[in-house]
Amino acid sequence: MTFSLRDQLSNQLRSLRRYALALARNRDDAEDLVQETLVRAISGSRTFRPNGDLRSWLFGILHNVHVNGVRREQVRARGASAIEAMSNGQVPPSQPGHVELMRTMEAFATLPEEQRRVLTLVAVEGMSYQEAARLLDIPLGTLMSRLARGREALRVEMGHRDRAQPSPLRAVR
Amino acid sequence: MGGDPISLNQDADLHLYMDGEMEPARRAAFEAQLAANPALAAKLHDYLHQQEMLKLGLDMMSGVTLRETETLAGRLRWRLDMDRFTRRVAPLAAAMLLVMGGWSLTVWVQEGGSGPQLAGETDDVPAFADEAVEAHSKAVALSALHPSPPQADATPVPALAQTALAQAATVQTARVPMGADRGMTVALPAIDPELTLIRAAIVPWNHGTALQFLYREPDGELLTLFVASGDPAQDGTLHTVVQDSLRLVYWRAGLVAYTVTGNKADGDLLNVAKRMADSVRRS
């Protein structure tokens, strides 16, 4: 509560971008999504109560923007292959665990959208189950099962990838 | 790699535990299960690691901000700041309007000195008293929302207002201007020593403009005095009515009608109204 609006908004901008990336799986689309969210937030700024939850408000707008279909179709067309390019371009190879990171992101991109949403909101953004369920407008039980299935699918996928792809560290000189 | 020793319940609990959704009372018991079940602990480790990787990956990919996005974020910040500022300043601005713009209590006095009948007056509750009930409800709701020091809200009106509310709070009469040179003197009750004036406002109503004063009694009860112009009548009798779960006491003195409104259970209301009516009569 002691954070200034400037700080809060900066933090939320980053969170919004992460969530947009998880939904769009493409950096350009994600940026569009965030920008459209901000445009709508500006025009509807009066709907934000002074003591309201900035994060819930902004995520709610972003969610609605994404779900309204027009954008969804565009995003779907560019789809899962884009995230591979995205992770290749964005994760510096010098980053420790770079290969594992890339594999995680690729595996994440293959998950169904509803699982990606829930995983991002709860596991990445740290939302409570209640808050995330309210935002996504789904029952709590549905959210929990999607979360469990998403985590398990990712774990299994990572296991497969680990077995299928030998680590570069083992490469012969 | 043998049979999975993790039960369905444990699997569900694993998520509750790592997401901080498990009741504190159950956490210790679950931690004991984790300590006793390596497969369960390994799964937790996998999930936590996976979570870290996801955070790191998404964070890296979202690290670069486009200038357009930053500009939009700046605009949003400005708008939210402005909205916040406006909300804070609006009541003050209304008070300033009152002070600077003055006020007029529109009185229905026909040429020749006789006032018109108040339309919509019923046998039971006169229109001004009915209006007073509504104004009371609004004032109480407003007071609950903005428990601020005494202030005045107003509709824009002609001159001489700056003294009017000040007069209302300290002396027993106020000169109420009407147009260019018409006017009337409204007698106001002296402030009862037991009451604290917390808001004074000029409020519009169906028949023009009225004065409204919101007081707090020593026991915290809120009551309002609604002063409106009415038809000429020297009916000093106090009428008590209960309407919409509120008690109201009204009386008339000349062209002016007074209504005191408060909680239905407020036993002091009639006494307060009596003291006010006496005070007006003496003034």
Confidence of residue B171 (pLDDT cuts 50, 70, 90): very low
Q: Within a domain: residue B69?
A: no
SS3 A23: helix
Flag whether B71 is in a domain. no
Pair B118, B240 in one domain = yes
What pLDDT does B48 receive? 93
What phi, psi does A45 have (nearest 5°)? -60, -25
Mean pLDDT, residues A143-155 taken together: 94
pLDDT over threshold 70, residue A72: no
pLDDT recorded at residue B43: 92
Could you say which of A17, A101, A122 has the minimum Cβ distance to residue B57? A101
Nearby residues of A35 by Cβ (< 8 Å), 6 or more positions away: B66, B68, B69, B72
| B74-129 tens-digit pLDDT | 888 888 887 777 777 766 766 666 666 555 444 443 333 333 333 333 446 778 88
> Are residue B192 and residue B277 in the same domain, yes or no?
yes
Chain A: nearest CA to B12, how far in angstroms?
8
Do B110 and B243 fall into the same domain? yes
Mean pLDDT, residues A108-132:
93
- Separation of CA B6 from chain center: 56
Euclidean distance between CA atoms B196 and B167, whole angstroms: 15
A108:B11 CB<8 A: no
| Same domain, yes or no: B117 and B182 | yes
Residues A79 and A36: beta-carbon distance below 8 Å: no
Cβ contact, residue pair A129, B56, below 8 Å: no
Which ranges of chain B does DSSP label H, i.e. alpha helix? 8-18, 24-36, 38-61, 67-101, 127-145, 161-170, 269-282
Residues B38 and B173 reside in one and the same domain: no
Q: CB–CB of B69 and A13 under 8 A? A: yes
More confident residue, A126 or B97: A126
Q: Which residues in A lie closer than 8 A to residue B79 (C-beta atoms)?
A: 42, 45
Per-residue pLDDT of B236-265, as tens digits, reads: 788 888 877 788 898 888 788 889 998 877
Confidence of residue B192 (pLDDT cuts 50, 70, 90): confident
Separation between Cα atoms, residue B56 and residue B259, nearest integer Å: 67
Q: Which residue has the higher pLDDT, A154 or A50?
A: A154
Asked whether residue B70 is assigned to any structural domain, the reply reads no
Mean pLDDT of chain B: 73
Spatial separation of the C-alpha atoms in residues B272 and B194, rounded to whole Å: 9
Is a pLDDT exceeding 70 seen at residue B195? yes
Range of the domain at B139: 92-282
Given B11, B19, B54, which is nearest A108 (Cβ)?
B54
**What is residue B80's predicted lDDT score, i.e. its pLDDT?**
83
Q: What three-state secondary structure class fits B178?
A: strand
A104 and B54 in contact by Cβ < 8 A? Answer: yes
Distance between alpha carbon A149 and the CA centroid of its chain, in Å?
16
User: For the residues B136-148, what does the mean pLDDT come to?
Assistant: 69
Residue whose structure tokens are 């300033």: B96
Could you tell me which CATH number the domain at A5-170 has?
1.20.140.160
Q: Taking residues B60-77, what's their average pLDDT?
A: 80
User: What is the predicted pLDDT for the residue at A170?
Assistant: 40
Domains held by chain B: number: 2
Chain B residue with CA closest to A156: the answer is B46
Q: How far apart are CA B252 and CA A55, in angstroms?
A: 55
Give the span between the Cα atoms of B31 and A70, in whole angstroms.
Answer: 47
* Domain co-membership, B155 together with B34: no
Any B CB within 8 A of A57 CB: no
Q: Over 70: is that where the pLDDT of A135 sits?
A: yes
Contact status of A8 with chain B (Cβ, < 8 Å):
no
Minimal Cβ distance to B76: which of A42, A92, A144: A42
ipTM of model: 0.75
Q: Tell me if A155 and B87 make a contact (CB, 8 A cut-off).
A: no
- The amino acid sitting at A172 is V
B242 in contact with A at a CB cutoff of 8 Å?
no
Cα separation, A9 vs A5, in Å, equals 6
Q: Do B42 and B135 reside in the same domain of the chain?
A: no
B103 and B55 in a common domain: no
More confident residue, B158 or B267: B267
What average pLDDT does the segment A77-84 reach?
53
- pLDDT band for position A73 (cuts 50, 70, 90): low
B49 shares contact with chain A (CB less than 8 Å):
no
Whichever domain contains B272, its CATH number is 3.30.200.100
Strands (E), B134-245: 173-178, 182-187, 196-205, 208-216, 222-233, 239-243
Whether residues B107 and B151 share a domain: the answer is: yes
Q: Which residue has better confidence, A15 or B255? A: A15
Give the per-residue pLDDT at B175: 52
Residues A90, B60 contacting (CB under 8 angstroms): yes
Q: Does B153 map to a domain? A: yes
Percentage above 70 pLDDT, chain A: 72
Are residue B199 and residue B104 in the same domain, yes or no? yes
* Higher pLDDT pick, A86 / B13: B13
Mean predicted confidence (pLDDT) in B217-238: 79
How many beta-carbon pairs under 8 angstroms link A with B? Answer: 119
> Which of B43, B61, B79 delimits the end of a domain?
B61
Q: Which chain A residue's Cα is nearest to B14?
A: A148
Contacts of A95 in chain B (CB under 8 A): 60
Q: How far is B152 from chain A (nearest CA, A)?
A: 23
Section B30-36 average pLDDT: 91
**Which residues on A lie below 8 Å from B11 (Cβ)?**
148
A9 reaches B (C-beta below 8 A): yes
What whole-number distance in Å separates Cα of residue B65 and Cα of residue A81? 22
